[in-house]
Amino acid sequence: MEIYEKNYNKWLEKLDHDDKMKTRLLCMKKQEKMDSFYKYIDFGTGGVRGELGIGTNKLNIYTIRKITEGLSLYLEEKNNKEKSIVIAYDTRFMSKEFCLEVAKNFITHGFKVYIFDDVRPTPLLSFAVRYLKADIGIVITASHNPSNYNGYKIYNETGAQIVTHEANSIKKYIDLVEDEFRIKVISDDFLFNNPNFSIIGNRVENAYLEKVNSLIIDKELIKNVGNNLLIVFSSLHGTAKKLVPQALKDAGFKNVIIVKEQSNFDSNFSTVESPNPEEYSAFNLAIQYGEKVGADILLATDPDSDRLGVMVKDFNNEYRQVNGNQLGALILTYLLSNYKEKLKNYNENFLLKTIVTSNLGEMIANKYGVKTINTLTGFKFIGEQINMIPKDSKFILGYEESYGFLIGDFVRDKDAIQAAVIISEIATYYKNKDMNLFDALHTIYEEYGYYKEELFSISLKGLEGEQKIQEIMLNYRKNPIKSTKIGMVKFVEDFQKKIKINLLEKTSFPISLPKSNVLKFILEDGSWFCLRPSGTEPKIKIYLSVLGETELDCERKMELLKDEILAELY
């Protein structure tokens, strides 16, 4: 009997007769059984993300219980003192229910449990872990994924997401939980009346907003001309509905218009194809608002408020997205040009970015003598690195191409609320010079060279899709591309084998980062492309970055490189 059949039969036997899941199980076709039961849902670095549904490979109350039981056992083994946890949840289907399942489990294991009274942003959870001095934090969210997804992010006592070695240890305990149907579950009444259970009031939120406000560099500028900046903001049906407008108001930005159709908590995200501010279509309503009122800047956050998307007018007076790499360059330039005297007070100053983020940030950092640390993909690795920065050194900025930014390290994960305030300050600064962010970006390109980046993904679901992804990566490892239509490949970085190969000189060097199934091909002119299976969705991601003498040169190179790689993959 195959593994999916064993798991399926186990669930069929264990589920109560009146459980709605049992009825669904009996109607499953073979392929659906295979996809739902061929394994237990992957627990990886940071936690779990997957489709809601029935089965061991889906997120439901039983898989949530199994994961949580393993995590509780891990923490009990790790630390015998009195322990505490903070739990938050977003606007997705089952988020509140999963939050309560987690709370119940930790109460049975003797933890002090804090939960928020309603949906809250992920960065606030990270802050709360540090503020309340908790041992662990969990947020129920699937970030920017489609509405049929949910997830489970785990944060350690520093407020950063758990990383590889922590995840590997936790997974061992999860695997020890053999029967998800035998885990003890207390009642709602027992939970709510337990002395170890607390609902978090406004003090954590207020303390967080004070910290966000402290990041503003030029308060006098905003006081004098901040009202000249007209902002349109959409929370895309997510958790930033309250905190982004409040943070902007506290900073002095009074001219903020909310996209009302997207300010309600809607688990279907019914006004957008995808609640992802990386997607142009997510801004369709915001663009309508912007064009009606003549907005200077459009802002949008994803459902758990850790990613910020931005649009401004281009040279043709049309709203255009400023991508994550570009926003990072704008923020970094503004911070360093204002910090340049203060930088001398520190032993070292650090920019943190991921290996799939544009090299433009590193070029800007070099100008100011700031050291760049490149991490594996995922903000959890940036959070980990912040914890390693010496006390006599300064953290300047952490960012990644996927619209994640962190300016103040009182949070240890990407924070769209911080970013919304700082981007608005930067937009005000340039508006006072009769410029916008698009103009400012081109002044950066004129100084450092033109960069263009793209990301595309190929979705491959189920067991068959997982095998196909592995075949693609194996083929690129066995037969690495040595030349492209825009230039020769100079380096191949294989992060799984932890080796960097110089194809031209036939030499190799070790890579110090942890193992990861990632391949990066670097061309002679500094352009590059990278292949990485997603850690949260059934897809393979292909990142591209090109350098050129002009914007048109970049566009030409990007088109050639992208077409060539697509031809290889298909």
Residue 404: what residue type?
A: G
Q: What are phi and psi of 333, to 5 degrees?
A: -60, -45
Rounded Cα distance, 545 and 554, in Å: 9
pLDDT tens per residue, range 19-57: 788 889 999 999 999 999 999 999 987 899 999 999 999
Q: Is 41 helix (H, G, I), strand (E, B) or coil?
A: coil
Mean pLDDT to the nearest integer, 499-514: 94
pLDDT of residue 505: 93
| Token pair of 361 as six digits | 């940030």
φ/ψ of 376, rounded to 5, equals -65, 165
Point out the catalytic residue in the list 36, 72, 95, 143. 143
pLDDT number for residue 178: 93
Question: Helix and strand tally (H, E) in the chain?
Answer: 19, 23
Q: pLDDT digits over 382-396, tens only?
A: 999 999 999 999 999
pLDDT mean over 68-88: 91
- pLDDT tier at 80, thresholds 50, 70, 90: low
CA 309 to CA 165: how far, in whole Å? Answer: 32
**Residue with tokens 């897809």, as numbered in its chain:** 539
Domains, the chain, ranges and CATH?
Answer: 39-200 (3.40.120.10), 207-448 (3.40.120.10), 450-569 (3.30.310.50)
pLDDT of residue 289: 98
Q: Which amino acid is at 104?
A: K
139-162: pLDDT as tens digits: 999 998 899 999 999 999 999 999
The answer to whether residue 143 is catalytic is: yes
pLDDT of 79 above 80: no
- Distance (Å, whole) CA 120 – CA 88: 6
510 CB-near residues (< 8 Å, 6+ apart): 498, 499, 500
pTM: 0.95
Tell me which residue has tokens 């081109």.
442
Phi, psi of 372 (to 5 degrees): -105, 130
Lookup result for tokens 């407008």: 245
Q: Is 173 helix (H, G, I), strand (E, B) or coil?
A: helix
**Alpha carbons 108 and 75: distance in angstroms, whole number:** 13
Q: Above 90 in pLDDT, residue 78?
A: no
Rounded-to-integer distance, Cα 67 and Cα 48, Å: 9
How does pLDDT run across 521-554, given as a tens digit for each residue? Answer: 999 999 999 999 987 678 899 999 999 999 999 9
Cα–Cα distance between 369 and 388 in angstroms, integer? 19
